[in-house]
Structure 1
Amino acid sequence: MGIEGDRPTGTIRHASSIAVHPQCQCTTRAMFYDYAVIELVEPFFVKPGEIEVMNILTERLEIRRVFEAPSEYWCILLDFELIKRRHVVDLGFLKKSSVTMETGAWCHDKYTVFIMNRDFNKDIQTCSNSYEKPCGQPDLGGPVICSRTESFDTKLPVGLLSGRHHPYCGKYLHFVIFEIYARMDPAIDWLNTWVPPTTTTSATTTGSTAVTTTAPTSTRKPTKHRDCDDGGASSQPHSLSFVSYDTFLTSVRPNSTTIINL
Structure 2
Amino acid sequence: MNPDAKQIGVLQNVAVAVGILALTALLAWLFNRSISRYVQHRGIDDPKPLTKIRMIQRLLRVAIVLTGFGFAFYALEIDALRRFAIGLFASAGLVGIALGFAAQTTAANLISGVMIAFVQPLRLGDRVMVEEDMGIVEDIGLFYTTIQTWDNRRVIIPNQVLSKNVIRNYTVTDPAMPAEIVLDVAYGTDMQWLRSMLLEETAAHPLTLNTPPPTVQVTKLDAHTFTVRLVAWTADYSQSWDVMVALRERVVQRMAEVGSAAKVGAIRG
TM-score (norm 1): 0.19
Name which one, 1 or 2, has greater alpha-carbon Rg. Answer: 2
**Structure having the larger proportion of residues in helix:** 2
In terms of fraction of residues, the more strand-rich structure is: 1
Normalised TM-score (structure 2): 0.18
Which is bigger in relative contact order (C-alpha 8 A, separation at least 6)? 1
